[in-house]
Chain A
Amino acid sequence: MSKRQLAMVMDLNKCIGCQTCTVACKTQWTNRNGREYMYWNNVETYPGEGYPKKWMDLGGGFDAAGDLKEGVIPNIEADYGVPWDFSYDELATFNFREHNPVAAFHADSTPTWGPNWDEDEGAGNFPSDNYFFYLPRICNHCTNPGCLSACPRDAIFKRDQDGVVLVDLDRCQGYRYCIAGCPYKKIYFNPKISKSEKCILCFPRIEQGLPPACAQQCVGRIRFVGFLDDEEGQVHKLVHKYKVALPLRSDYGTQPNIYYIPPTEAPAKFDAEGKIIEGSQRVPMKELETLFGKSVNDAIKTLKAEKDKRTKTGESELMDMLIAYHHQDMFRLDANYYQDIAKAKNNTNPLAPIDNRYAKGKFTKEINFKANA
């Protein structure tokens, strides 16, 4: 286990699926150099096929005995979706008077799948019981990463200082066992450099005390970032004090460090005459239990109780946190933490203050963790 763990909490009640996080990440990291098809951050509609297609069925992660499970490597056209180009050049020379303008503006390939192919479809029948919610996903920077365990080259490492999981591109030889090993399919093959790449939790920003781009740009202010052991931090409070933030698919056994506040605020179902069925639950609890485990029941109870308390008394620390008043409270990062480590090491390199393994090869150390009780 890393000495400290940086974590993120995402409040699913407030995600509006605007993809600002996706765009923030893409323009920062993945719009170039073979990463074009990758979404280190994506927002998918749940229920839905997800990105890559049916990622929950593609294997990886650990079985009950703690053994790494086999997995499948998605196909770029069929499962991820290839970013196509439009015929911009043709537009410049196209004679709109003579031809149908639609013909001029076309994609250079015929896509069959892509991220958000099934956006907003959800499940159920409109209007009586249809439902969906948005599920933003980044690398979970797991405590027991499937990708790291699968690598036969020891090319993936987890930083002691903050638990960020990174690929050492110097050691990576593009075997792609990591992709099979990650149950979230959040590590990708870069065909241009023939190596694997993944979300780096914006570590160059974090080392300067800034939150990851996806969290900073989130218009709904749904993302909290901080160290799990920082008891004053909102991340710690949401995860450990109120226990309302839960990891996604913890049954995969990788101990993910991105936590979700489950959706509680769906409208009730309608009966055949279009009347509200009082007390009905539009998002099936079974689905939420699949995603977040049995403790989702308690989390929702706590959230509803605190909401009532706030309505009646005007006071609730939990509700105040979820309203997300101030970025400085939501993002508890500490540039001095990294700078002090750098100083202690006599390292004056501003681009790699705490760890240069991102560029230099080292063996992966054993990670010790305790399974959840």
Chain B
Amino acid sequence: MKTIIKSLIIAGLATATYAKSPASAPAENLINAQRVSNINIANISPNDSIWRSAKTASVILYPQTTIKLNDAKANAANKDNKAKVAKVSAVYNNSAIAFKITWKDDTQSVQNGYKSDVYPDGFAMQVPVSFNDPKKLPYIGMGSEGRPVLVHLTKAVSLHYEPNGNGDIEHQINPHNTNAFGSDLKNYDDKVNKLGKQTYSRAFISEGFRSMTEIKDGSDTFGMKMVYDAKNKTWTGVVAKKLRDGEADLSKYGAIPVSFAIWDGDKLNRGGVKRLSSWVAVKLQGKAGGDALVKELTSKPKGDAKAGQAQVEAMCASCHTLSAAKQATSAYMAPNLNNIGGYSTNAYLAESIKDPEAVVVPGYNRNAHKSLAWYNLDAKTGKRTTIMPPMMSDDKSINDAVAYLKTLKAEVEK
């Protein structure tokens, strides 16, 4: 009882702090995480009482168009994707942080049964492993070399198995190859079913898409769940993780960057065909620090977008596609920028213009488009170096270019 009262008081205090902030509308790209007493990481649920005190913020998720994948049907279905708004709230305590994300999806897609071309809805949350400089956050596409991220992902997959997951060889044979009939066969099938896993929640560490590797040693403590509301046609997902675990220590920060991705199974979304947000600042209410990060992620670009447009079209458009009207010579030469304003930070754009070497987007498999290198690769070390020269060096030009690039994004779905 004592704890409940305590948590109520703290929640009340936190609300008061939030109400003090000057603007009446909450800043864009900012989630205020309320302090709560207890977060049940393993069994986190959208119905937990911890969400009662939480404030909701809007996060916009833009279609991933940096690279184009090779599924003809998926490409056709996602050709004119718009951005989606998700409602996100966050809570934290000394040892854990949790997010609740709600987004609209007219169809509930579950990967279930014996199908080859059915895809599940899903969502993921990404945090950097470390981020001392808010201007040098990891690349939004699952991190970059030297700037790793942790990704937590869950998908609406009803039942799946891990090959040799339990080393149980005797239940890996076809029921017809057993000598069982009737009730014996039923018992056998039941045993096989027990080997299946009901949740498809996974943790990954990654230094850029393609390198994402599942954390299987249990060093990342997290929990996820997603629930479909058929009446309102929305998914609500929750994810909770320890602030400090094997890979990352987020407990020392007053604000942390986080980003989200959602998949629409009905539109054959999976892998790179998805919507993702930019880095969003999560301010841990009542905890000191993190102001620089919040400022960085919520500030508007300073430059003149119109002047930037002229520069970018002149200097960048032959390699980078900017929009449907401004196509690069080849789609496979460099990242497509037509949603870059949606999922990139100002600092990332400025850094990439000035120092393209800082983040080299992993691009396509080296064998998929051989005539266009995208980046240089040291065959021995596997290190990627960019083929893009530094484009601008004066701050005015860079700010203008960033201001323009920030306008390159799909419109938001009504």
Q: A residues bordering B, Cβ < 8 Å?
A: 31-34, 36-37, 59-60, 65-76, 80, 82, 89, 92, 144-145, 148-154, 169-171, 173-177, 179-181, 188-189, 191-195, 361, 363-367
Known pairs A68-B368, A171-B213; A177 contacts B163 (CB<8 A): no
B interface residues, tally (CB under 8 Å): 47
A-B contact count (CB 8 A): 138
Q: Shortest beta-carbon distance, B212 to chain A, in Å?
A: 7
Counting CB contacts under 8 A, is B20 at the interface?
no
Interface of A is mostly: loop
A67, B116: Cβ atoms closer than 8 Å: no
B117 interface neighbour in A32, A36, A76, A193, Cβ under 8 Å = A76
Nearest residue, chain A, Cβ from B271: A175
User: Could you pull out 6 A-B pairs where Cβ atoms are within 8 angstroms?
Assistant: A31-B174, A66-B371, A71-B71, A72-B73, A189-B116, A192-B161
Counting CB contacts under 8 A, is B162 at the interface?
yes
Q: Shortest beta-carbon distance, B268 to chain A, in Å?
A: 8
Counting CB contacts under 8 A, is B22 at the interface?
no
Known pairs A31-B177, A73-B116, A193-B163; A65 contacts B371 (CB<8 A): yes
B212, A153: Cβ atoms closer than 8 Å: yes
Nearest residue, chain A, Cβ from B216: A170
Counting CB contacts under 8 A, is B218 at the interface?
no
- Which residues on the B side are within 8 Å of A195 (C-beta)? 163
Q: B residues bordering A, Cβ < 8 Å?
A: 67, 69-73, 75, 111, 113-117, 157, 160-163, 172-174, 176-177, 181-182, 200, 209-214, 270-272, 332, 364-371, 377, 379, 382
A361 interface neighbour in B114, B173, B174, B213, Cβ under 8 Å = B213
B368 interface neighbour in A36, A67, A171, Cβ under 8 Å = A67
B72, A71: Cβ atoms closer than 8 Å: yes
Known pairs A67-B369, A73-B117, A363-B382; A34 contacts B161 (CB<8 A): yes
A70, B75: Cβ atoms closer than 8 Å: yes
Known pairs A66-B370, A76-B114, A177-B271; A148 contacts B71 (CB<8 A): no
- Which residues on the B side are within 8 Å of A36 (C-beta)? 174
Q: Shortest beta-carbon distance, A148 to chain B, in Å?
A: 6
Question: CA separation between A308 and B153, bound complex, in Å?
Answer: 66
Question: CA separation between A70 and B366, bound complex, in Å?
Answer: 16
A153, B271: Cβ atoms closer than 8 Å: yes
Q: Name, among A66, A148, A169, A174, the residue most crowded by chain B CB atoms within 10 Å (CB to CB).
A: A174
Question: Sorted from nearest, which 7 A-B pairs have the closest CB atoms?
Answer: A175-B271, A70-B72, A149-B368, A149-B367, A32-B174, A76-B116, A68-B368
B72, A180: Cβ atoms closer than 8 Å: yes
Nearest residue, chain A, Cβ from B379: A366
Question: CA separation between A68 and B176, bound complex, in Å?
Answer: 40
- Which residues on the A side are within 8 Å of B75 (C-beta)? 70
